[in-house]
Amino acid sequence: MLIIPAIDLKDGHCVRLKQGDMEASTIFSEDPGAMAKHWIDQGCERLHLVDLNGAFAGKPVNESAIKSIVSAIGGKIPIQLGGGIRDLDTIERYLDDGIDYVILGTAAVKNPGFLHEACYAFPGQVIVGLDAKDGKVAVDGWSKLTGHDVIDLAKKYEDYGVSSIIYTDIGRDGMLTGVNIEATVALAQSLLIPVIASGGVTNLDDVRKLCAVEDEGIIGTITGRAIYEGSLDFAAAQALANELSPNAR
């Protein structure tokens, strides 16, 4: 089970939002590269980046900060990146810059043809982020709920060839209220590709609960506010995950 630190980028800084609200952001670091190195020193084995400005603008905004993170990491661990990726040229540029996986969210839902093309052009390097509330998918920075069922969409994307699904319960993200284990397991059980949980990881009990269902196809969890505010010790969390699932890594 991978415990994956999130570095959310806004105006070149590392921040966290509450439930996707750009006005409710907290700055945790003004040096993204140093923050990335910090998590590697703590035992991080994959990093999750989000260009928050890009997600709202529909185009890359924090590229300089992203490049500083790639440079700081130096290829030691895989990096996955989402936010503002709307065309194949942007994907190619990010992969050339050293990003390992690109994450498509709103673009995948609104333009499935683009997702299909991306999976064909960059096999094994496209992840879809599905943000959902009560089983329905949200888009546009969580501001709009669609009528799409999260499991139905995920199955369609699996057929396209996405490498994995990041599932976020948007009612819990950034709120430190625990993971929606039931919904995450239901999604993982419906797919052959792995699922990465996101939203609500608060403490070591959440890590234990996720490790207990790892065999269902959940390979990791993304955590942000909890590790920045201190309710979750990242190094302890990854060590616990390694202890509970030594053969699954």
Catalytic residue set: 8, 131
CA–CA distance from 29 to each of 24, 79, 146, 196 (Å)? 16, 19, 34, 25
What three-state secondary structure class fits 228? helix
> Where is 156: in which H helix or E strand?
helix 150-160
What three-state secondary structure class fits 248? coil
Q: How far apart are CA 167 and CA 198, in angstroms?
A: 6
Q: What are phi and psi of 79, to 5 degrees?
A: -120, 130
Q: What are phi and psi of 91, to 5 degrees?
A: -60, -50
Beta strands at 136-139 and 126-133: parallel, antiparallel or unpaired:
antiparallel
Q: How far apart are CA 149 and CA 135, in angstroms?
A: 6
